[in-house]
Amino acid sequence: MPEMQGPERIAPQRLGDYLEIMSKVVFQSGMSYKIVESKWPGTKEAFHGFDAAEVAAMPPAEIDRLAEDTRVIRNRRKLESVVSNAQRMVELDAEHGSFQNYLRSHADFPSQVKDLRKQFKFLGDMGCYYYLYVVGEEVPPHEEWMASL
């Protein structure tokens, strides 16, 4: 039986890279990965290529339009959370000098996950693990983390 591999990791180059992965985690929560992937090109276009400042400035009327847009997953709460998460991400980026500095400002992995869950919407324990792994942060072995939950 072939060994299972984890998701592809990235080296974020801009704040929008962090936002895009976080947004994908938000939409994957409770949804088929294949559906999210099939809608992702339209989602990326609808959210201005995940330019964090542009997304953070999106007015409610734009979310109203997206809630009717067949290119995206039309879950209003998740659409709104992308904007809210972008706003908080921009704030934390400014407060810490970079979003990576914010991510690395925690004493350990459990406190990092706890703070991510507090700061951002639609991120649970497993979503945080996936998110941190994909954006290249250190995470404990998956089996070890699962056993601690």
pLDDT tens digits, one per residue of 51-109: 999 999 999 999 999 999 999 999 999 999 999 999 999 999 999 999 999 999 999 99
In total, the chain counts a number of residues equal to 149
What are the structural domains of the chain? Answer: 15-148 (1.10.340.30)
pLDDT tens digits, one per residue of 126-142: 999 999 999 999 998 87
Residue 145 has pLDDT above 90, yes or no: no
- Distance between CA atoms of residues 136 and 115, nearest Å: 18
Ramachandran region, residue 127 (left: φ > 0; alpha: ψ -120 to 50; beta: rest): alpha
C-beta atoms surrounding 146 within 10 Å: 12
* Amino acid at the residue 43: T
Region 33-59: what's the mean pLDDT?
A: 98
pLDDT at position 31: 92
pLDDT at position 141: 84
Contact 79, 63 (CB under 8 A): yes
- Distance between CA atoms of residues 11 and 18, nearest Å: 9
Residue keyed to tokens 């056993």: 147
Residue 149 has pLDDT above 90, yes or no: no
Q: How far lies 117's CA from each of 21, 46, 57, 128, in Å?
A: 15, 25, 22, 8
- Distance between CA atoms of residues 111 and 106, nearest Å: 6
Residue 2 has pLDDT above 80, yes or no: no
